């Protein structure tokens, strides 16, 4: 259910305003997954997300197998963002006439590979033509489960909580930049890993499960970074009714991203703060529990983890704190499928 920037969210909000609901819908539209209580010990998680040729991927920058893997990975990431375990996938393909069967075979091989790695079963789907349109689209619905009392949402962050992020946000955007500017003489070591991260992000499933195990008393809010750090942090803030301040000095920059930015004379922070499609986890931790979380991550050999700031009152809005102590508002800049150029 993750999408991109303002106008998309405004559209969703308008279309889905005041939809009827029932008691068993624990979480409806507006989080990474919907959550249903069917009465058993585990709650059901549901999410759907699409990848459209020319919008989310191109065959120029990714192989068919990578496209299939990523289409499932971004949905797995939505399950991770609720602390859940993925279980079942339904795959809907919109296939243009000119698409060679071998491309579909390789795309499906990618889907199978990613599903197997996440112990997720493909149990249904659909194929459709696209008429006059020449764009391939992959629409996936994913079901997962999470233990009752252990679902983590975007809405529990409280003033004073510590803000954490896994891995190295910005790597995917830097990788995409290098893919879209292939003629620039990059040293391969600067780009290979960044490009791989962009092509097939790794859903942080084990990390999400550990956070869910710690529970909402310790991990107060959780989201995956699909729209960019600033955009997804703004989602947590909006849903939780809080503000947040990111400590620029603490932002984790991967060596590859640093060196690519230096080479290009670009500001690496633009990628780190606003680059989308990282699929890292961004979450808030109750004060005093930081060490517990960090120790548990380290003990389990999970993704690198960095405290990058703090949750503040809503009045503070979204802010950046520079190393000299100066603070300034942080404007959200997210990718928008409707208005952003590729």
Q: Which is nearer to a second copy, 25 or 263 (CB)?
A: 25
User: What is the torsional sign of CA 30, 31, 32, 37?
Assistant: negative
Distance of closest approach, residue 146 Cβ to a second copy, in angstroms: 14
In the bound state with a second copy, the residue whose beta carbon lies nearer, of 132 and 315, is 132
Near a second copy by CB under 8 A: residue from 100, 131, 265, 323 = 131
**125, 169, 337 from 341: Cα distances, Å:** 31, 21, 8
* Residues numbered 296-335 forming contacts with a second copy, rule: CB under 8 A: none
From CA 154, how far away is CA 213, in angstroms rounded? 17
Cβ atoms 222, 166 nearer than 8 A: no
Rg (CA), the chain: 19
Would you state the torsion angle of the CA atoms of residues 133, 340, 276, 78, taken in this order, to the nearest 10 degrees? -50
Q: Which stretch in 9-17, 175-183, 204-212, 313-321 sits in contact with a second copy by CB under 8 A?
A: 9-17
Answer for which of 5, 80, 143, 272 binds a second copy (CB under 8 A) is: 143
Phi, psi of 60 (to 5 degrees): -75, -30
CB of 12 to a second copy, least distance (A): 6
197 is an interface residue for a second copy by CB under 8 A? no
Binding-site member from 130, 155, 159, 289 for a second copy (CB under 8 A): 130
Site for a second copy in 65-124 (CB under 8 A): 88, 90, 92, 94-95, 97, 101, 104-105, 108, 112, 116, 121-124
Task: Pick from 19, 315, 323, 326 the residue near a second copy by CB under 8 A.
Answer: 19
CB of 300 to a second copy, least distance (A): 26
> Measuring CA to CA, how many Å separate 206 from each of 76, 83, 88, 214?
11, 9, 17, 13
State the residue for tokens 């192989």: 63
Instruction: Specify the residue, 132 or 299, whose C-beta has the smaller distance to a second copy.
Output: 132
Q: Closest approach of Cβ 85 to a second copy, in Å?
A: 13
Q: Is 14 in the site for a second copy (CB under 8 A)?
A: yes
Residue 13 within binding range of a second copy, rule CB under 8 A: no
DSSP per-residue codes, 247-268: EGGG----HHHHHHHHHHT--H
- The C-alpha atoms of residue 22 and residue 37 are separated, in whole angstroms, by 10
Given 5, 56, 186, 237, the residue binding a second copy (CB under 8 A): 56
40 counts as binding a second copy under rule CB under 8 A: yes
Among residues 48, 117, 206, 269, the one that binds a second copy under rule CB under 8 A? 48
Q: Is 133 in the site for a second copy (CB under 8 A)?
A: yes
The interface region with a second copy, picked from 13-21, 195-203, 264-272, 323-331 by CB under 8 A, is 13-21
Answer yes or no: are the C-beta atoms of 227 and 77 closer than 8 Å: no
Quick one: tokens of 214?
A: 């710690």
Looking at the Cβ atoms of 21 and 291, the one nearer to a second copy is 21
- The beta strand positions in the chain, using DSSP E, are 25-27, 34-36, 42-52, 85-95, 121-129, 137-147, 162-166, 219-224, 243-247, 281-285, 305-312, 318-321, 327-329
Instruction: Write down the residue that tokens 């409280």 correspond to.
Output: 158
The answer to whether 51 and 199 are in contact (CB under 8 A) is no
3-state SS, residue 326 = coil
Name the minimum Å distance from CB 117 to a second copy.
12
Q: Is 224 in the site for a second copy (CB under 8 A)?
A: no
Residues near a second copy, by CB under 8 A:
1, 3, 8, 11-12, 14-16, 19-22, 25, 28-29, 33-34, 36, 38-40, 46-50, 52-56, 88, 90, 92, 94-95, 97, 101, 104-105, 108, 112, 116, 121-135, 137, 139, 141, 143, 337-338, 342
């Amino acid at each position: 259910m993750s999408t991109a920037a303002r106008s998309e969210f405004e559209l969703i909000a308008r279309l889905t305003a005041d939809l009827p609901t029932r008691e068993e819908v624990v979480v409806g539209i507006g989080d990474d997954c919907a959550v249903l209580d069917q009465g058993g010990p585990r709650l059901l998680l549901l999410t759907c997300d699409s990848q459209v040729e020319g919008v989310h991927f191109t065959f120029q920058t990714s192989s068919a197998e990578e496209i299939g893997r990523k289409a499932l990975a971004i949905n797995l990431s939505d399950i991770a963002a609720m602390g859940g375990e993925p279980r079942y996938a339904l795959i809907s393909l919109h296939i243009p006439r000119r698409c060679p069967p071998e491309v579909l075979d390789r795309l499906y091989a990618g889907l199978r590979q990613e599903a197997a790695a996440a112990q997720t079963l493909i149990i249904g789907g659909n194929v459709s033509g696209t008429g006059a349109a020449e764009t391939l689209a992959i629409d996936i619905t994913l079901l997962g489960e999470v233990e009752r009392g252990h679902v983590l949402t975007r809405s529990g962050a409280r003033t004073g909580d510590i803000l954490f992020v896994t891995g190295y946000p910005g790597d995917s955007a830097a990788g995409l930049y290098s893919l879209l500017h292939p003629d620039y003489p990059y040293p391969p070591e600067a780009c290979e890993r960044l490009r791989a991260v962009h092509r097939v992000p790794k859903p942080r499933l084990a990390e999400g499960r550990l956070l869910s195990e710690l529970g909402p008393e310790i991990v107060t809010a959780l989201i995956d970074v699909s729209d960019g750090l600033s955009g997804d942090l703004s989602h947590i803030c909006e849903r939780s009714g809080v503000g947040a301040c990111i400590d620029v000095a603490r932002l984790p920059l991967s060596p590859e991203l640093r060196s690519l930015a230096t080479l290009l004379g670009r500001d690496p922070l633009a990628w780190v703060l606003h680059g989308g499609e990282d699929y890292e986890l961004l979450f808030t931790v109750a004060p005093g529990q930081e060490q517990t979380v960090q120790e548990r991550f380290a003990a389990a050999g999970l993704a690198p983890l960095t405290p990058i700031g703090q949750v503040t009152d809503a009045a503070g809005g979204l802010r950046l704190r520079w190393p000299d102590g100066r603070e300034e508002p942080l404007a959200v800049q997210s990718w928008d499928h409707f208005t952003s150029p590729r």
